[in-house]
Chains A and B, each alone.
Chain A
């Protein structure tokens, strides 16, 4: 057991630098799958969860209001249904939505959040019920006091109900954009490039379309040593640095 855990830590430590540094800046929680790869989960912070909560609250308020309008025409039975539905909305609105394929209430979906288990899998019914019933405890001492303190103190931004139910609210991964590189003549690198250098040059080339020309030249100048242009700056240097990126990616002509 301990040997296996040590192995896991080694593997994590041995990950390439871009991933390691992303963990620091982006507040990523890594989960290991049985296949031995690390999935990256990005926990949602207090701010975005508050906005999502407000939306859900408004949705529920609207539903209660509409139901009340309908119930008024139905007399005693209408009132009974209204009370039952208000009760159900109060306790089970989040449960129902979290168990749907999207794994999120409308408010969470609006902000691209979803509820998952600690291991990245869809939330189970038992966990969803537990985390939502325990919201009563999160609400204390007033206005979700414990939930706010817990979310601010923890790296994975869990409230008490999330801790107990082993769930997490995460940002849904954004759809991958297929980046296309502008056609630039490949340039043979002027020196041997480490994997980190290669990754940095390629990342620069992929970001190029989003940068202004001046900024791109500035950044390319920092990497100019890869094409043997160290110390120089300008559109030509930029073109040659991007050319190195083409070469590293595998274009040869």
Chain B
């Protein structure tokens, strides 16, 4: 068979496939291509035919334009047929209802490690700075320390940051940006065999501990703890979980098990990204609470602590209990 007769024999099938692809992919029709209705079974059949023709054309060294045309047809159809669709509310619901808490439990030892890496520096530095407040200067500069003190002083109209009236919205944006960036850094640091994650977790732990110890020493503990206790249920948890996702990646690189390092990394990233979906959601909630609820200084502390207890209970029981039943 010559290339021309080969083309002659099968070009109707190729044209049909081309027309269906144009329709299905909502492409601008190429000149001469009339879009047509798509039938799945017919499309799959035409695709397999085109695959056969491509194999034949390659094996017989048919001219480049024929091979290229068939390559393009098969690759477009391949993309259409095997495309994994993971969009939509149904998928998000599935992640929220079962996949995210399950992934967290499946990674519990990473979560514990990340928690310790964050919490131990917080406690140690917190106690140290509380005992000897001058140590705060080895963590932050004196101006920063002074501005912290000013922010959380009970006389400030709204606590948290020095701000003019009506800037709740602006702080909302600022918190989202800051906290999500910290969480993402903890995750990405996993690529450096987990060392980056450990560093960011410990660094943010030291910073939080120093801040808490310093403000407690200055006698601002009541405003400070009432401020952070509610949103930290989401924020600290999210940062620790992002760290756990980073550690999962780092561990896959150090100890890939029976896979190659590259394959282990790919598997780890895919599984960790379910946790990252959840982390992003929790951080958005945290930022909302931080900007509107935590900083409202007119609320009595009793109310704040009750709501905080409810939030912590909700978050922890969601992560430990949700999605245990099949479904």
Q: Are B69 and A136 in contact (CB under 8 A)?
A: no
**Choice from A99, A121, A202 contacting B79 with Cβ under 8 Å:** A121
Query: Is B174 on the interface with A (CB-CB < 8 A)?
Result: yes
Q: Are B273 and A126 in contact (CB under 8 A)?
A: yes
Given contacts A164-B265, A164-B269, A165-B269, contact A206 B65 (CB under 8 A): yes
Query: Could you tell me the distance in whole angstroms from the C-beta of B81 to the nearest C-beta in chain A?
Result: 9
Given contacts A124-B86, A133-B188, contact A206 B170 (CB under 8 A): no
Query: Is B222 on the interface with A (CB-CB < 8 A)?
Result: no
Q: Are B270 and A40 in contact (CB under 8 A)?
A: no
Which A residues lie within 8 Å of B298 (CB)?
Answer: none
Chain A, 1-52, CB within 8 A of any chain B CB: 15-19, 33-37, 39-40
- Report how far A164 CA is from B264 CA in the complex, Å: 9
Query: Is A64 on the interface with B (CB-CB < 8 A)?
Result: no
How many A-B pairs have beta carbons closer than 8 Å: the answer is 174
Given contacts A76-B167, A124-B86, A175-B30, contact A160 B191 (CB under 8 A): yes
Which B residues lie within 8 Å of A251 (CB)?
Answer: 4
Query: Could you tell me the distance in whole angstroms from the C-beta of B8 to the nearest C-beta in chain A?
Result: 8
Given contacts A83-B174, A129-B276, A178-B65, contact A121 B71 (CB under 8 A): no
Q: Are B82 and A179 in contact (CB under 8 A)?
A: no
A14's nearest neighbour on chain B, judged by CB, is B59
A128's nearest neighbour on chain B, judged by CB, is B273
A99's nearest neighbour on chain B, judged by CB, is B87
- Report how far A37 CA is from B188 CA in the complex, Å: 36
- The 0/1 profile, CB within 8 Å of B marked 1, for residues 157-175 of chain A is 0001001111000000101
Q: Give the size of the chain B interface in residues (CB under 8 angstroms).
A: 67
Which B residues lie within 8 Å of A40 (CB)?
Answer: 71
Query: Is B317 on the interface with A (CB-CB < 8 A)?
Result: no
Q: Are A176 and B83 in contact (CB under 8 A)?
A: no
**Choice from B2, B26, B72 contacting A248 with Cβ under 8 Å:** B2
Q: Is the interface of A mostly helix, strand, loop or mixed?
A: helix
Which A residues lie within 8 Å of B269 (CB)?
Answer: 130, 134, 164-166
Query: Is B58 on the interface with A (CB-CB < 8 A)?
Result: yes
Interface centre among B3, B83, B173, by most A CB within 10 Å? B173
Q: Are A126 and B184 in contact (CB under 8 A)?
A: no
Name which of B48-56, B110-118, B133-141 contacts chain A. Answer: B48-56
A34's nearest neighbour on chain B, judged by CB, is B82
Name which of A54-62, A192-200, A211-219, A220-228 contacts chain B. Answer: A192-200
Q: Are B63 and A202 in contact (CB under 8 A)?
A: yes
Q: Are A126 and B274 in contact (CB under 8 A)?
A: yes
- Report how far A202 CA is from B2 CA in the complex, Å: 12
Which B residues lie within 8 Å of A120 (CB)?
Answer: 75, 78-79
Query: Could you tell me the distance in whole angstroms from the C-beta of B144 to the nearest C-beta in chain A?
Result: 21
Q: Are A82 and B54 in contact (CB under 8 A)?
A: no
Q: Are B72 and A173 in contact (CB under 8 A)?
A: yes
- The 0/1 profile, CB within 8 Å of A marked 1, for residues 255-279 of chain B is 0000000100110111011101100
**Choice from B60, B173, B196 contacting A79 with Cβ under 8 Å:** B173
Which A residues lie within 8 Å of B190 (CB)?
Answer: 137
B51's nearest neighbour on chain A, judged by CB, is A35
Q: Are B276 and A133 in contact (CB under 8 A)?
A: yes
Which A residues lie within 8 Å of B2 (CB)?
Answer: 248-250
**Choice from B48, B79, B184 contacting A91 with Cβ under 8 Å:** B184
- The 0/1 profile, CB within 8 Å of A marked 1, for residues 138-162 of chain B is 0000000000000000000000000
Q: Are B51 and A33 in contact (CB under 8 A)?
A: yes
Q: Are B276 and A130 in contact (CB under 8 A)?
A: yes
A251's nearest neighbour on chain B, judged by CB, is B4
Q: Are B61 and A199 in contact (CB under 8 A)?
A: yes
**Choice from A77, A137, A202 contacting B191 with Cβ under 8 Å:** A137
Q: Are A177 and B65 in contact (CB under 8 A)?
A: yes
- Report how far A125 CA is from B249 CA in the complex, Å: 18
Query: Is A81 on the interface with B (CB-CB < 8 A)?
Result: yes
Chain A, 219-239, CB within 8 A of any chain B CB: none
Q: Are A77 and B169 in contact (CB under 8 A)?
A: yes
Chain A, 60-86, CB within 8 A of any chain B CB: 75-77, 79-84, 86
Can you offer 6 A-B residue contacts whose CB atoms are under 8 A? A33-B78, A101-B26, A120-B78, A124-B86, A136-B189, A165-B266
Inter-chain pairs besides A87-B177, A126-B86, A199-B63, 11 sampled, C-beta below 8 Å: A16-B61, A82-B173, A83-B170, A83-B177, A84-B176, A87-B181, A119-B82, A134-B187, A136-B185, A136-B188, A179-B63
B interface with A by C-beta (< 8 Å): 2-5, 25-26, 30, 47-48, 51, 54-55, 58-65, 68-69, 71-72, 74-75, 78-79, 82-84, 86-87, 166-174, 176-177, 180-181, 184-185, 187-192, 196, 249, 262, 265-266, 268-270, 272-274, 276-277
A interface with B by C-beta (< 8 Å): 15-19, 33-37, 39-40, 75-77, 79-84, 86-87, 90-91, 99, 101, 119-122, 124-127, 129-130, 133-137, 140, 160, 163-166, 173, 175-179, 195-196, 198-199, 202-203, 206, 248-251
